Chain A
Amino acid sequence: MNLDQALDTFVNESRELLADMEEALLNIEHTADRADAVNAIFRAAHTIKGSAGLFGLDHIVDFTHVVESVLERVREGAVGVDGELVALMLACNDCIGRLVEQTAGGGEPEADLREQARELLGRLSAYMPQAQAPVQAQAQARGDDGGRDAAAASDSDHWHISLRFHEGVLRNGMDPLSFLRYLQRLGRITGVACHTGRLPALADMDPEACYLGFEIGLDSSADKATIESTFEFVMDDCAIRIMPPRSRVSEYVGLIGDLGEEPSLLGEMLVHCGSLTRHELDEALVTQRKAQSLAPLGEILIEQQCVAEPVVAAALSKQRQVKEQKAQEGQSIRIDAAKLDHLIDLVGELITAAAGASLAAARSGNAELQESNSQVEALVESVRHSTLQLRMVKIGATFNRFRRVVHDVSRALGKDIGLVVRGEDTELDKTVVEKIGDPLTHLVRNAMDHGIESAGQRVACGKPAHGTITLNARHDSGHIVIEVSDDGGGLDRERILAKAQEKGLIDGGRDLSDAEVYKLIFEPGFSTAPQVTDLSGRGVGMDVVRRNIEALRGSVQVASRLGEGTTVTVRLPLTLAIIDGFQVGVGRSRFVLPLDMVDECVAYTAEGGQNYMDLRGKVLPFIRLREMFDLPGTPAARENIVVVHNGGQRIGLVVDTLLGETQVVIKPLSRLFAHLRGIAGSSILGSGEVALIVDVPALMAQAAESSQEHSSEAGGPQFSTSSPETGRGQAPRVG
């Protein structure tokens, strides 16, 4: 792994850690057991700091260090967790994220980021005792504690670390130097003494093996786990003993005895490190000699084991964590999205080619060829399914992002709003997930800003002061349905109508259904908010939301009850690349209907002139595709109706022939045809013919509009586009 790759890994890992940190921060106010969450946050900050240190990214290290110090105090219980601190930490989380993005490549942070970091550091310092003097303050506190048994405790108030490296450590690419350098970041190294006892003569040594050991005195406010984590990477390659500040002298005696090296020499080293005074050492050595004469390797060693136990246990659990992590990593791999897209393109071509092959096989009349072709087709179908599955991601990650949005916005608005997430395991195509983020953000913000009332109003209406936004996802016949609901005041029909008339969006006096009225909020330039806040009214309106969703072949609907809340329902196709289609023919043109929307096919039995029929006792309106797309030729003697549904509505499409199920790869129409309504895309059939994919929801909307506008006219709905040349969809005739 070269340095660039290592840096990439660092950036990716930092992103993940920051996401974990954010989640823990958002959860912390609602969990009973905060210790775990605090630890998770601390671990994230600490790991980023540590990795950044390895790359020499000082901006990140310096900033994260202060964040970590404050978290440390939270962990100690010296600072309580409140909304203020959570908001500050979230801001720090963002700042670290930006620092990582901007400086990982070795660059300098931009001026505004530096400014932001400075401001955050200022706010953080408020959580540090006596204007950023953690070391002294803690030393002071320890001094008070330790005063009671001062006689037994060493006078030193720093950590003592005893390291014995195994021979392989250098060959494994670790140099004790780097750990010493890192320790300097944790605090001041008061002294280092090097053990050379195991070093053989020059002639006998392996120059690439490590024979050294070190005694290190470290004056630091970091805790044991932090210090220990410095050595995380060499846990297997060295023996570590970490002694806390003010360890009892007898524990140092234990250390001296345990290491089994020349006691006086080791003692000198401890003095050199400042961990023991000479007087303490002399006493200790006397104690040790006494102990040895009474019970060789007796009490002292037992005591040593007690001392060593936590360190050993910690080391073991750390190794276990690392192993578990590795196991988890083994279960998933990261793939460049572009490679995946390429694969899907190829699968698309494969489907077209396979369809062509089976068509040719059918023509040849060779039974064996047809048999093997049908096997190939079945396999291609599985491959397509698996490939698309690769792109499927759970929507949970997207939903969880909104916890942050809701948290921040509710603070900004001064409203007490919580987020409830349902159906987070619902899967959908990655490209759809990426594109749905912005519209959803807008819907959520809108619901918080305009939907949910202020706490005072809510209480006055007899509702709980705590407002709730609900995000819900579920699958529905090849689509994913995402609902954004709030339990706010609901849409005010009269106000919307008044506003729409004022803006000239509708004529006065027309009777509109509730759904039609609510739809008006998606019109460009429509906003009922009495005052424009900094959250909404920033030029991105609901009309943009609708446009974005429609660009994804989706639709959006609103349901609302005054005083009870509003639900915005977004329907999106699961995937944008390949669909199961139902092929129909009109004259010589081929059309494909999304199979998920097809309910049934019935023979055309209506009398001429009418555009509805009786389907088992229910009225079924229908559209003649021949008229809709102005196709030449006369209808066949026996026409068929394909019954399609979308969003709770059913409609019939009159076609000449039914050609059966087919898989089609959607090719977007060229921009020349982008304004065409009723056609979602094109596809190349196995025979080489071009088929147009019918945009059923658009067709339905069109039918609904034109049935209102031309209710007196007989015949099918017409395109309302202005230019006659481009307005009419001409189905290409091939062959």
Chain B
Amino acid sequence: MNHVSTLRLEGELTIYCAQETRQQLQQALAGMDTHAAPTLEIDLSGVVEADTAGMQLLLAARRQAQALGGEVALKDCSPAVAEVMALLGLAPYFDAQGAAGQIFGQEAS
């Protein structure tokens, strides 16, 4: 890991603030150095509520980071996030707990 930048998301990660969250993610991704296989670390410890729309944003951010040659890693998922991730079967997409669970890591994009 060369360049790690961190974005902390707090409060709701839901459809009600999806637009704002997207802007935050966009800005964080735009600030990454695309030449150095950067990693955007997203700190989710302060998220109290999450839904499908919120999770979808994280997936889209990851996809965009990968297109730039980088990666998105989730850090300290709050219980609310962990529950939604488990329900939606998203664990394989994010190496959240440090487990090597990337079954679909090589998906076509």
Does A pair with B? yes
Mind listing 17 A-B residue pairs with CB under 8 Å? A193-B104, A194-B93, A196-B93, A201-B60, A201-B64, A202-B22, A203-B26, A207-B18, A207-B22, A207-B56, A210-B53, A211-B56, A212-B56, A212-B88, A215-B89, A268-B104, A272-B92
- Which of A46-61 touch B at CB < 8 Å? none
Contact stretch, chosen from A169-177, A588-596, A603-611? A169-177
Say yes or no: A201 contacts B67, CB within 8 Å.
yes
Does any Cβ of B come within 8 Å of A214's Cβ?
yes
Does any Cβ of B come within 8 Å of A4's Cβ?
no
Most chain A CB within a 10 A radius of its CB, from B59, B61, B87: B87
The smallest C-beta distance from B74 to any residue of chain A, in angstroms, reads: 15
Option from A180, A205, A212 in Cβ contact (under 8 Å) with B87: A180
The smallest C-beta distance from B29 to any residue of chain A, in angstroms, reads: 7
Distance of A196 Cα from B15 Cα, bound (Å): 18
**Per-residue contact bits, chain A 150-183, to B (CB 8 Å; 1 contact, 0 not):** 0000000000000000000010000111001100
- Return chain B residues, CB-CB under 8 Å to A601: none
The smallest C-beta distance from A652 to any residue of chain B, in angstroms, reads: 79
**Nearest neighbor of A200 in chain B, beta-carbon distance:** B60
Say yes or no: A201 contacts B63, CB within 8 Å.
yes
Say yes or no: A202 contacts B87, CB within 8 Å.
no
Does any Cβ of B come within 8 Å of A244's Cβ?
no
**Nearest neighbor of A193 in chain B, beta-carbon distance:** B89
**Given A196-B107, A205-B56, A272-B89; 10 other pairs, CB 8 A cutoff:** A170-B52, A175-B51, A177-B88, A196-B59, A202-B26, A205-B57, A205-B60, A208-B19, A215-B89, A262-B108
Does any Cβ of A come within 8 Å of B73's Cβ?
no
Option from B52, B57, B67, B103 in Cβ contact (under 8 Å) with A177: B52
The smallest C-beta distance from B31 to any residue of chain A, in angstroms, reads: 14
**Nearest neighbor of A261 in chain B, beta-carbon distance:** B108
The smallest C-beta distance from B105 to any residue of chain A, in angstroms, reads: 11
Say yes or no: A192 contacts B89, CB within 8 Å.
yes
A binding-site residues for B, Cβ under 8 Å: 170, 175-177, 180-181, 191-194, 196-197, 199-203, 205, 207-208, 210-212, 214-216, 262, 265, 268-269, 272
Say yes or no: A210 contacts B59, CB within 8 Å.
no
Option from A196, A207, A212 in Cβ contact (under 8 Å) with B21: A207
Interface of B is mostly: helix
Given the interface contacts A202-B26, A210-B53, A265-B107, does A177 sit within 8 Å of B87 by beta carbon? yes
Does any Cβ of A come within 8 Å of B32's Cβ?
no
- Which of B1-57 touch A at CB < 8 Å? 15, 18-19, 21-22, 25-26, 29, 51-53, 56-57
The smallest C-beta distance from A71 to any residue of chain B, in angstroms, reads: 29
Say yes or no: B63 contacts A214, CB within 8 Å.
no
Distance of A500 Cα from B86 Cα, bound (Å): 78
Say yes or no: B63 contacts A202, CB within 8 Å.
yes
Distance of A268 Cα from B107 Cα, bound (Å): 10
Option from B22, B53, B93, B103 in Cβ contact (under 8 Å) with A268: B103
Option from A170, A175, A202 in Cβ contact (under 8 Å) with B61: A202
Say yes or no: B93 contacts A203, CB within 8 Å.
no
Most chain A CB within a 10 A radius of its CB, from B19, B21, B59: B59
Distance of A311 Cα from B22 Cα, bound (Å): 37
Distance of A193 Cα from B60 Cα, bound (Å): 16
**Per-residue contact bits, chain B 66-109, to A (CB 8 Å; 1 contact, 0 not):** 01000000000000000010011110110000000001100110
Say yes or no: A177 contacts B107, CB within 8 Å.
no
Say yes or no: B59 contacts A175, CB within 8 Å.
no
- Return chain A residues, CB-CB under 8 Å to B56: 199, 205, 207, 210-212
Distance of A513 Cα from B108 Cα, bound (Å): 99
- Return chain B residues, CB-CB under 8 Å to A170: 15, 52-53
Say yes or no: B103 contacts A272, CB within 8 Å.
yes
The smallest C-beta distance from B10 to any residue of chain A, in angstroms, reads: 17
The smallest C-beta distance from A626 to any residue of chain B, in angstroms, reads: 80
The smallest C-beta distance from B102 to any residue of chain A, in angstroms, reads: 11
5 nearest CB pairs, A to B: A192-B89, A207-B18, A202-B60, A202-B64, A207-B22
Distance of A524 Cα from B61 Cα, bound (Å): 84
- Return chain B residues, CB-CB under 8 Å to A203: 26, 64
Distance of A262 Cα from B107 Cα, bound (Å): 9
Most chain A CB within a 10 A radius of its CB, from B15, B21, B57, B67: B15
Distance of A176 Cα from B59 Cα, bound (Å): 16
Option from B15, B25, B88 in Cβ contact (under 8 Å) with A194: B88
- Return chain B residues, CB-CB under 8 Å to A205: 22, 56-57, 60
Say yes or no: A210 contacts B52, CB within 8 Å.
yes
Say yes or no: B108 contacts A265, CB within 8 Å.
yes
- Return chain B residues, CB-CB under 8 Å to A194: 59, 88-90, 93
The smallest C-beta distance from A79 to any residue of chain B, in angstroms, reads: 34
The smallest C-beta distance from B69 to any residue of chain A, in angstroms, reads: 14
**Nearest neighbor of B50 in chain A, beta-carbon distance:** A177
Distance of A196 Cα from B108 Cα, bound (Å): 10
Distance of A207 Cα from B13 Cα, bound (Å): 11
Say yes or no: A180 contacts B107, CB within 8 Å.
no
Option from B15, B25, B93 in Cβ contact (under 8 Å) with A202: B25
The smallest C-beta distance from A217 to any residue of chain B, in angstroms, reads: 10
Distance of A1 Cα from B87 Cα, bound (Å): 28
The smallest C-beta distance from A683 to any residue of chain B, in angstroms, reads: 60
Say yes or no: B88 contacts A202, CB within 8 Å.
no
Say yes or no: A212 contacts B108, CB within 8 Å.
no
Say yes or no: B51 contacts A177, CB within 8 Å.
yes
Say yes or no: B88 contacts A199, CB within 8 Å.
no
Distance of A210 Cα from B21 Cα, bound (Å): 16
Distance of A488 Cα from B103 Cα, bound (Å): 77
Most chain B CB within a 10 A radius of its CB, from A192, A193, A205, A268: A205
The smallest C-beta distance from A728 to any residue of chain B, in angstroms, reads: 76
Say yes or no: A180 contacts B22, CB within 8 Å.
no
- Return chain A residues, CB-CB under 8 Å to B59: 194, 196, 199, 212
Option from A201, A212, A215 in Cβ contact (under 8 Å) with B52: A212
- Return chain A residues, CB-CB under 8 Å to B64: 201-203
Distance of A57 Cα from B67 Cα, bound (Å): 46
Say yes or no: B87 contacts A207, CB within 8 Å.
no
- Return chain A residues, CB-CB under 8 Å to B88: 176-177, 180, 192, 194, 212, 214
Given the interface contacts A199-B59, A200-B60, A210-B56, does A192 sit within 8 Å of B87 by beta carbon? yes
**Nearest neighbor of B29 in chain A, beta-carbon distance:** A202
- Return chain B residues, CB-CB under 8 Å to A215: 89
- Return chain B residues, CB-CB under 8 Å to A192: 87-89
Distance of A272 Cα from B103 Cα, bound (Å): 9
**Nearest neighbor of A207 in chain B, beta-carbon distance:** B18
Most chain B CB within a 10 A radius of its CB, from A175, A202, A211: A202
Say yes or no: A176 contacts B52, CB within 8 Å.
yes
Given the interface contacts A202-B26, A202-B60, does A207 sit within 8 Å of B53 by beta carbon? yes
- Return chain A residues, CB-CB under 8 Å to B15: 170, 175, 207-208
- Return chain B residues, CB-CB under 8 Å to A199: 56, 59-60, 63
The smallest C-beta distance from B2 to any residue of chain A, in angstroms, reads: 22
- Return chain A residues, CB-CB under 8 Å to B108: 197, 262, 265
Say yes or no: B87 contacts A181, CB within 8 Å.
yes
**Nearest neighbor of B30 in chain A, beta-carbon distance:** A203
- Return chain A residues, CB-CB under 8 Å to B52: 170, 175-177, 210, 212
**Nearest neighbor of A205 in chain B, beta-carbon distance:** B60
The smallest C-beta distance from B75 to any residue of chain A, in angstroms, reads: 19
**Nearest neighbor of B22 in chain A, beta-carbon distance:** A207
